[in-house]
Structure 1
Amino acid sequence: MNRSDVRQDDHMMSSIIGWVLQGGVIISSALVLIGFLLLISSPGALSGSRTDIFPHSLSELWTGLQGFHPQSIIVLGLLLLIATPVVRVIVSILAFALEHDLRYVIITCMVFAILLVSFIFVTGGPSTPPPATPAPSVIGIALIFASSIIAGLLGALVGLGGGVLIVPLLTLAFGFPIEYAIGASIISVIATSSGAAAAYVHDRMTNMRVGMFLEIATTVGAVCGAFIAGLINPTLLYIVFGIVLLISAAPLVFKLAEELPQGIKNDHWANLLSLNGSYPDQHLGEVSYEVTHTPYGFGMMYVAGLISGLLGIGSGSFKVLAMDTLMRLPMKVSTTTSNFMIGVTAAASAGIYFSRGDIRPVIAAPVALGILVGALVGAKVLARLQNKTVRMIFLPILVIIALEMVLRGFGVAL
């Protein structure tokens, strides 16, 4: 397959995947919004007894939907949002099959198989119910929604899940238990990924072949991390992770003024897997780029997934670093491809959080809607920014994440 054929196939893939992501976002957000409006408009809507009663199983969900219960409608919307990255993987298999691209049919089937393993064999373990907390007021919900817009915008710009802001926001500003904050964070990562990726894929800024290939490493790492999470004290891991991120941030300081990597040539694996690509840039026109150090980037993606599974955090920062500093993709491509990938990793663990009640709809619903709005706005903003501007936004956020991880390791985390 020559380079022009690959580019034409990528345009077709962009259209198919873009419509799948966009459709999932529209349907899920519409259901969440309808259910939420029905909930808050009914008498006693935000009383603790009402907001704590929501379906935890498919049978309960079906019964609630038959009675047109607002809680069940919200949960259906959240489940469809969680399912969107998984559906994207399934549709990608079909799309590559239609293009007779056997390599990527196999690669994407491997990603789907790993997801199935995570769904079937990885469990969340016993969980003690979080302490009872009052439901947020209407003003509180509005503040959560507005704050989530900002989180989604930043997450879309720099390729991270909105959880880096959502968790401290919900625990410190609103006083919710950490379990509910983490459950909402998982939803925010999927919402950021699906909402922003829908726009980025249509605009051809995402390198889907790089994303599909690297998802093998990150999903395997996430499954391994989930299996061994109960065997290792995470305190030291938080500190190590934070220090590694701080060290990794150092080279970015010397590349702040870099707009595009120079003198990069495809390595053997990049040629074999057709990882090079191009994207339209408002400042530079059509930008073509090549990929190097593919095995090292693949290895770092495994580490990113492992950390995510071990610590229960998003690893978008590691994904962006791997693609920007090791594989030498343009910064815009690194952040958009990271956005494309992070939803799949988060979806693998979202079912665990849902089944044990850590995803509280009255909190997750405004977070999901706000994140989606912010992600879509962020996608529009990114198209107008230069690569060096994106790097200047990413660097301080990376340092904040690193310091937060170190503080958490010393027991003074947010």
Structure 2
Amino acid sequence: MKRLTSSDKSTAQTQAQKQPPPSKLSNSISWILQGGVILSALLIVIGIALLPTRPGGLTPERVLNFPQTLTQVGAGLLILRPQAFIMLGLLLLIATPIVRVAASLVTFVIERDYKYVVITGTVLVILIFSLFLGSRSQENEVAINTFQIHFSLGVALMIFVGSLLAGVIGALVGLGGGIMVVPMLTIIFGFPIPFAIGVSIISVIATSSGAAVAYLRDHLTNIRIGMFLEIGTTLGAISGAFVAGLLAPNLLGVIFGIILIVSAAPLIFKIGEELPQNVSNDSWARTLNLASSYPDHKLGREVPYQVTRTPFGLAMMYIAGLISGLLGIGSGTFKVIAMDTIMRLPLKVSTTTSNLMIGVTAAASAGIYFSRGNIPPLIAAPVALGVLAGALLGARLLLHMSNKILRIIFVPVIIIAALEMILHGLGIGSF
């Protein structure tokens, strides 16, 4: 393995200094995410506050009776229908990552960074195309009202607490919280899997938007790496949506679960690694200005890093998006593994950059779940609020953790995610 000389290190620091200052882009994206999160949470809280003004209480019948189109949401707002306000808040949360990509495009245009104008424009086009596909895929939905649902104030509070924990873990390890939300809703509370997956998409976006605000302001996230790799994830998600009906998703779940366990093996051998060693920029990283640095509060210094095997990382992102499109699950584990073990980024950069990316991947499929009526507001509301609060807490905790501790947390989470995929594929358990 090639060792870095003092000349190489000097070159890395020079390349990091030559990068356009990230503050303008980071601050604009941070403000957009913060505004989207605050407005979304406010509307959800308003909807919850309006619930006692309407008869019916928190009954299963009320859970199943909610607006499922934009027209119904608009009509419900006019008559102060609680679930219409909650649904509007959820839709704004879904739109936040899309607005973030559009704002990034404008910022790159202003900075005359034309390489990233093309990259970001490509991501935005793919994202809009995926939303268009989602609006046209409503015919396969199964009636949910045949399921027996148990719902009450106590259930809603327990969902909030569970989602709070999911948000903390999701923010720390770069996942969307769905790894906990889906089994919690299906196994513990007995909700149907279409509801659980639809609400899980909300939890992914909430984790991404909530934690990214802090990560961007603390300059932990590499926006350029995230934007470039989002080309792979969004293309993969669309590909998965196209071929989902042609392949056996259960078999794929087992295969990808096994692949995920195998992929976790290098992490186990590097469990004590604090920072990657002997990494040199490849030609792609140099061309795209991917090398950077981040302030590590635990180490008490600025940590420069370089990026290698970029094409393989992009290919892995396509696979991650493909998994999301095929199986309807989050793929943050694959994103973090790709950046950590293939591209050799510091784990804090891998998890925070993955956190930024998962919101875009989830937003690409959220329109499908909304159009199918798979996002019930009364279930999604405590999940969204709990995950948002947990993500903000997790983002604060990460600043004071070492990469070693994050790796110790991340490895068991990967194994749990892999087992969930395998069990789901084998049809074992409610999930």
- SS of corresponding position for 2:86: helix
Corresponding residue of 1:197: 212
- Equivalents in 2 of 1:234, 1:70: separation in Å? 37
Change (3 A) 1:41 1:385: farther
Shift of 1:63: 1.2
Is the 8 Å Cα contact of residues 264 and 291 (structure 1) preserved in structure 2? Answer: yes
- Equivalents in 2 of 1:57, 1:411: separation in Å? 32
State the TM-score, normalizing by the size of structure 1: 0.97
Corresponding residue of 1:334: 350
Choose the corresponding residue for 1:77, options 89, 93, 98: 89
Counterpart amino acid of residue 236 in structure 1: L
Choose the corresponding residue for 1:143, options 158, 177, 200: 158
Question: Residue by residue, what CA displacement relative to the aligned partner does 1:14-46 show, whole Å, maximum 9, x if unpaired?
Answer: 111111111100100111111112114543232
Unaligned segments of structure 2, at least 5 residues: 1-13
Counterpart amino acid of residue 388 in structure 1: K
Shift of 1:387: 0.5
The number of aligned residues is: 413
User: Within the alignment, does 1:97 sit opposite 2:113 as a pair?
Assistant: no
Shift of 1:350: 0.8
User: Within the alignment, does 1:306 sit opposite 2:299 as a pair?
Assistant: no
Corresponding residue of 1:115: 127
Is the 8 Å Cα contact of residues 205 and 358 (structure 2) preserved in structure 1? Answer: yes
Corresponding residue of 2:360: 344
Shift of 1:253: 1.0
Shift of 1:48: 3.5
- SS of corresponding position for 2:294: strand
Corresponding residue of 2:407: 391
- Equivalents in 2 of 1:355, 1:409: separation in Å? 25
- Equivalents in 1 of 2:213, 2:271: separation in Å? 28
- Equivalents in 1 of 2:427, 2:329: separation in Å? 16
User: Within the alignment, does 1:56 sit opposite 2:71 as a pair?
Assistant: no
Shift of 1:258: 0.5
Shift of 1:375: 0.3
- Equivalents in 1 of 2:335, 2:122: separation in Å? 19
Corresponding residue of 2:392: 376
Choose the corresponding residue for 1:168, options 183, 189, 197: 183
Question: Residue by residue, what CA displacement relative to the aligned partner does 1:327-376 show, whole Å, maximum 9, x if unpaired?
Answer: 00000000000000001111111111111111010000000000000000
Describe how 1:5-24 pairs up with structure 2 within 5 A: 5-8=18-21, 10-24=22-36
Shift of 1:167: 0.7
Is the 8 Å Cα contact of residues 16 and 293 (structure 2) preserved in structure 1? Answer: no
Unaligned segments of structure 1, at least 5 residues: none
User: Within the alignment, does 1:277 sit opposite 2:292 as a pair?
Assistant: yes
Is the 8 Å Cα contact of residues 46 and 135 (structure 1) preserved in structure 2? Answer: no
Corresponding residue of 1:4: 17
Is the 8 Å Cα contact of residues 308 and 314 (structure 1) preserved in structure 2? Answer: yes
Is the 8 Å Cα contact of residues 40 and 46 (structure 1) preserved in structure 2? Answer: no
Corresponding residue of 2:237: 222
- Equivalents in 2 of 1:218, 1:125: separation in Å? 25
Is 234-243 or 360-369 further displaced after alignment? 234-243
Change (3 A) 1:178 1:210: same
Is the 8 Å Cα contact of residues 45 and 51 (structure 1) preserved in structure 2? Answer: no
Shift of 1:282: 1.0
Corresponding residue of 2:142: 128
Is the 8 Å Cα contact of residues 279 and 286 (structure 1) preserved in structure 2? Answer: yes
- SS of corresponding position for 2:73: helix
Identity of aligned residues (%): 57
- Equivalents in 2 of 1:49, 1:258: separation in Å? 52
State the TM-score, normalizing by the size of structure 2: 0.93
Corresponding residue of 1:291: 307
- Equivalents in 2 of 1:288, 1:125: separation in Å? 50
- Equivalents in 2 of 1:25, 1:211: separation in Å? 20
- SS of corresponding position for 2:293: strand
Counterpart amino acid of residue 142 in structure 2: T
